């Protein structure tokens, strides 16, 4: 059974509710990103003074993170917890390079036509 067959088996009202929920979530996320960038663009266009712009960015940095940033951080924390529980975290953050076979040989110069 495929995922689409499972969806087709659901009653019509359940499919309509889920479709509406997906549309609302998608429009909300796109609108949130659009509004944040639009707010910045309008402020910069209206206030050309660099001191006011610096104050705007400083105030904006002090605010709570956006929904997307919070969700991304939560997923990163979840991934780190899973890697730590399964023992993959040591290999994931390791800076050590494993050399299987070290090259033993000399460097050879390229044959250039000017050096005869």
Residue 23 lies in a domain: yes
Residue 104 lies in a domain: no
Residue 87 Rama label (left phi>0; alpha psi -120 to 50; beta): left
Residue 16 lies in a domain: yes
Residue 5 lies in a domain: yes
pLDDT band of residue 7 (cuts 50, 70, 90) is confident
Q: What is the pLDDT of residue 51?
A: 84
Segments forming the whole domain that contains residue 1:
1-46
Residue 63 lies in a domain: no
Instruction: Tally the domains of the chain.
Output: 1
**What is the residue-wise DSSP string for 11-72?**
-HHHHHHHHHHHHHHHHHHHHHHHHHHHHHHHHHHH---HHHHHHHHHHHHHSPPPHHHHHH
Residue 57 lies in a domain: no
Residue 95 lies in a domain: no
Q: How many CB atoms lie within 10 A of CB 47?
A: 13
pLDDT band of residue 116 (cuts 50, 70, 90) is low
Q: What is the pLDDT of residue 112?
A: 76
């Amino acid at each position: 059974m495929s995922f689409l067959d499972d969806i087709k088996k659901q009653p019509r009202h359940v499919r309509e509710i889920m479709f509406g929920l997906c549309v609302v979530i998608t429009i909300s996320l796109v609108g949130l990103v659009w509004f944040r960038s639009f707010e910045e663009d309008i402020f910069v266009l209206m206030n050309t003074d660099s001191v006011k712009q610096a104050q705007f960015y400083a105030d904006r940095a002090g605010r709570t993170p956006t929904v997307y940033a919070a969700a991304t951080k939560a997923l990163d924390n979840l991934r780190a917890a899973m890697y730590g529980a399964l023992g993959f975290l040591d290999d994931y953050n390791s800076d050590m390079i494993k050399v299987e076979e070290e090259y033993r040989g000399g460097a050879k110069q390229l044959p250039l036509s000017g050096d005869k």
